[in-house]
């Protein structure tokens, strides 16, 4: 009888626990149902707003983005109000972007920049501007094509480092045009193409070649290559294209050890310390001409790494896989690089509208002279270029030792 009483109490305890768990589940489900119903009713109220109310709220959000203050404009669009106005004029006059019957030009450009800066989906942009997803998508692609037409204005025209340069990083590299490197941009690709875009780390990326000037403005950007492609292969494709990267004879770009040290592309010495963190952690001074050359080379070439860091830090769409197609995502990368140059050029100094078009005219005039310049069309190791690098390293090392000898006296 005692055993039967114990088992009966145990069964009743389990039944009570099951009852409590069931009640908790019912309360949670009821709460979720109420929340879903309230959210559905709220969304339906937004949809059923009359046209006048939707337009009023749309204008309020737009004015808050682009007119209230520079701080809000930077938070939403990553540029200040003055630069936003400059961009509006450029996409209208050069890009050929015009307002539609129901959408003003400010809203089109603001929606485009907001998508790039925060990587928002169409429905989020549509809820913010009280537009349909189809309207947001169509305006985004139209604005993207207009931004790409600004490459003749926003891409930096390279100029070689002069003999009398006083830049501590670049004065050692006479006739250098800048630096180049590749970076990986996360993408979404179809399942049958994932093997080509998968890197050695297992991520699906697009290999993007970036070339920048010493002042951190992009000169050339080539997106679209698979993440598994070698950087040297991407560079060879860039210089072989009719409208690709142009390197005049006698000039060169700084590149890392992953590229061939050939004419027009100055790479560091392999087998020696190179990366800046290797020097800062070791707290040692260069012992040979090769080590000193690598140190100076790394300090100058670091400009392209900083460009990529600023590019991805400013535009959130480059930090995570996008739902756009590969072709569209490649265009987005190029558009972000153009906007990077816009920010670098017009948010840091005073700007006169007339100066912009004067610069465009001067670039067009100089383009006729560039037709007679002989450009580098291949990358290969050669004895003259190797001797050029060795001579540069030895001269750099001799001058450095002479300065140190004077300071120790």
Predicted local distance difference test score (pLDDT) of residue 351: 33
Strand boundaries in 170-305, DSSP class E: 176-186, 205-212, 218-226, 252-254, 265-266
Residue 408 confidence (pLDDT): 60
Q: Which residue has the higher pLDDT, 14 or 43?
A: 14
Q: Is the pLDDT of residue 169 over 80?
A: yes
Q: How far is CA 55 from CA 51, 119, 379, in A?
A: 6, 24, 57
| Structure tokens belonging to residue 33 | 């149902």
Q: Could you tell me what percent of the chain has a pLDDT over 90?
A: 62
Residues near 389 by Cβ (< 8 Å), separated by ≥ 6? Answer: 261, 266, 293
Is the pLDDT at 172 greater than 90? The verdict is: yes
User: What pLDDT does 358 receive?
Assistant: 34
Distance of CA 150 to the CA centre of its chain: 17
The answer to whether residue 176 scores a pLDDT higher than 50 is yes
Could you tell me the pLDDT band of residue 405, with boundaries at 50, 70 and 90? Answer: confident
pLDDT for 370 equals 46
pLDDT digits (tens, 9 = 90+) for 311-341: 999 999 999 998 899 999 999 999 999 999 9
Confidence of residue 153 (pLDDT cuts 50, 70, 90): very high
* % of the chain surpassing 70 pLDDT: 88
Sequential DSSP letters for 307-329:
HHHHHHHH-GGGSS--SS-HHHH
Per the model's pLDDT, the better-predicted residue between 356 and 314 turns out to be 314
- Helix ranges (DSSP H) in 162-288: 194-197, 231-240, 276-282
pLDDT band at 355 (very low <50, low <70, confident <90, very high): very low
pLDDT score of 5: 60
Q: Which tens digit of pLDDT belongs to each residue from 80-134?
A: 999 999 999 999 999 999 999 889 999 999 999 999 999 988 888 888 888 988 9
In this prediction, residue 6 has a pLDDT band, given cuts at 50, 70 and 90, of low
- Which pLDDT band, with edges at 50, 70 and 90, does 354 fall under? very low
The pLDDT of residue 368 is 40
Cβ neighbors of 68 (< 8 A, separation 6 or more) are none
Q: What pLDDT band is residue 366 in, cutting at 50, 70 and 90?
A: very low
Confidence of residue 287 (pLDDT cuts 50, 70, 90): confident
Give the pLDDT band of residue 404 (cuts 50, 70, 90): confident
Distance from C-alpha of 362 to C-alpha of 205, rounded to nearest angstrom: 38
Go through 371-383 and write b for each residue having 16 or more CB atoms within 10 A of its CB, e for each that does not.
eeeeebeebeeee
Average pLDDT, the chain: 86
Instruction: Identify the DSSP state of 390.
Output: H
Q: What is the pTM of this model?
A: 0.81
Residue 44: band (very low, low, confident or very high) from pLDDT cuts 50, 70, 90: low
What is the rounded CA–CA span in Å between residue 76 and residue 110? 9
List the domain boundaries for the chain: 1-46, 51-149, 159-408
> Residue 147 and residue 79: Cα distance in Å, rounded?
15
> Could you read off the pLDDT of 293-319 as tens digits, one per residue?
999 999 999 999 999 999 999 999 999
Q: Each residue of 198-223: pLDDT tens digit?
A: 998 899 999 999 999 999 999 999 99
């Amino acid at each position: 009888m005692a055993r039967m009483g114990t088992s009966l109490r145990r069964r009743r305890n389990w039944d009570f626990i099951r009852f409590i768990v069931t009640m908790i589940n019912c309360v949670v489900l009821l709460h979720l149902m109420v929340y879903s119903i309230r959210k559905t009713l709220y969304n339906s109220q937004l949809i059923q707003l009359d046209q006048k109310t939707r337009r009023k709220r749309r204008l309020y959000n737009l004015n808050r983005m682009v007119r209230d203050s520079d701080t809000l404009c930077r938070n939403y669009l990553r540029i200040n109000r003055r630069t936003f106005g400059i961009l509006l004029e450029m996409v209208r006059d050069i890009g050929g972007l015009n307002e539609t019957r129901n959408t003003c030009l400010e809203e089109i450009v603001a929606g485009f920049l907001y998508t790039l800066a925060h990587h928002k989906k169409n429905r989020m942009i549509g809820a913010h501007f009280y537009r349909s997803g189809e309207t947001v998508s169509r305006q985004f692609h139209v604005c993207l094509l207009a931004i790409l037409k600004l490459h003749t204005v926003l891409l930096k025209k390279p100029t070689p480092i002069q003999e009398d340069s006083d830049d501590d990083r670049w004065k050692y590299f006479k006739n250098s045009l800048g630096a180049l490197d590749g970076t990986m941009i996360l993408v979404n690709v179809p399942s049958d193409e994932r093997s080509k875009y998968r890197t050695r780390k297992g991520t699906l990326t697009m290999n993007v070649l970036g070339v920048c000037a010493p002042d951190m403005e992009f000169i050339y950007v080539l997106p679209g290559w698979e993440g598994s492609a070698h950087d040297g292969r991407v560079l060879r494709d860039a210089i072989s294209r009719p409208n690709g990267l142009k390197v005049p004879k006698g000039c060169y770009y700084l590149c890392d050890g992953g590229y061939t040290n050939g004419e027009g592309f100055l790479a560091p010495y392999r087998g020696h310390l190179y990366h800046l963190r290797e020097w800062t952690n070791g707290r040692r001074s260069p012992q040979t001409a090769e080590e000193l050359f690598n140190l100076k080379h790394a300090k100058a070439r670091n400009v392209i790494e900083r460009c990529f860091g600023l590019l991805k830090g400013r535009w959130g769409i480059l930090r995570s896989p996008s739902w756009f197609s590969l072709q569209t995502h490649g265009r987005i990368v190029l558009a972000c690089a153009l906007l990077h140059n816009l920010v670098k050029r017009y948010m840091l100094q005073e700007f006169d509208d007339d100066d912009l078009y004067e610069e465009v005219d001067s670039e067009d005039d100089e383009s006729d002279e560039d037709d007679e310049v002989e450009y580098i069309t291949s990358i290969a190791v050669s004895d003259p270029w190797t001797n050029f690098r060795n001579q540069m390293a030895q001269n750099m090392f001799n001058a450095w030792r002479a300065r140190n000898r004077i300071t120790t006296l």
